[in-house]
Amino acid sequence: MAWAAGTRAMSDPFPEAEPEPSPERTAEGLKTLRLMLWLLVALVVGAGAIVMLAPDRTPPAGNGAYPDTIGGPFALTAPDGTRVTDETLKGKPFAIFFGFTRCPDVCPTTLSRMAQWRGQMGADGDKFQIVFVSVDPDTDSPADIGRYVDLFGTPILGLTGTNEEIDAAVRAYRAFYQKVPTAAGDYTIDHTASVYLMDADGRLQGIISYDETNTNALAKLKRLVG
């Protein structure tokens, strides 16, 4: 006990720990404190500079609002039977959306809005890919999805896979889908309605929500290809 107290008294730079510090000791303590604070400031600035200058750690386009955990490995099938993975998509930014062809509302609305935004981007519109993943392989064959995405008059890569492959892709994007039975013995599907904007390295750069304004969505897409 005594040893501990002695050690503390010797090394503790904060004199208020002492019951009655002399004015000299207080001034000396404040000086030490000031030095330590400056040292702390130097450390923080230094660390900040390292974080900012290190290229690997810079979040794309300075958007730190989204976690790195969205996006990742997946393997799905294109309408022509080609296998498409996160690796094959690399090299070009892409906007990916999960849905199903029996979705009468959110899916056609979102796909046609994306086609519209791409049209408004001029030549920049070709600098990203639009990817539509059907989460309904029991109804949508790869060929069905190909014909469906053709309705929107702009190149859209339609993908699907086995239930396991779809689950893996949905998990990679932290997205959600759920089959819901209907009264007629059929089913509908609840699903995430957001569009994930992925950079050329397959990292999340932004999200376009279902209720995003055209102005905001367009700004996000321009940043994606910028």
Q: List residues binding another protein (CB under 8 A).
A: 101-106, 108-109, 111-113, 115-116, 118-119, 139-141, 143-144, 147-148, 150-154, 176, 180, 182-184, 186, 188-194, 209-211
- Minimum separation from the CB atom of position 99 to another protein (A): 8
Distance, in Å, from the CA atom of 195 to the CA atom of 71, rounded to the nearest integer, reads 12
- Minimum separation from the CB atom of position 211 to another protein (A): 7
What residue has token string 């009655």?
A: 20
Largest CA distance in the chain: 88
- Cα angle 97, 100, 102; round to 5: 145
- Minimum separation from the CB atom of position 192 to another protein (A): 5
Residue among 48 and 155 whose Cβ is closer to another protein: 155
Residue among 32 and 139 whose Cβ is closer to another protein: 139
> What single DSSP character describes residue 137?
T
Residue among 29 and 79 whose Cβ is closer to another protein: 79
In the chain, the N- to C-terminal Cα span, in Å, equals: 64
- Minimum separation from the CB atom of position 206 to another protein (A): 14
Distance, in Å, from the CA atom of 140 to the CA atom of 199, rounded to the nearest integer, reads 28
Residue among 29 and 101 whose Cβ is closer to another protein: 101
Amino acid at 74: F
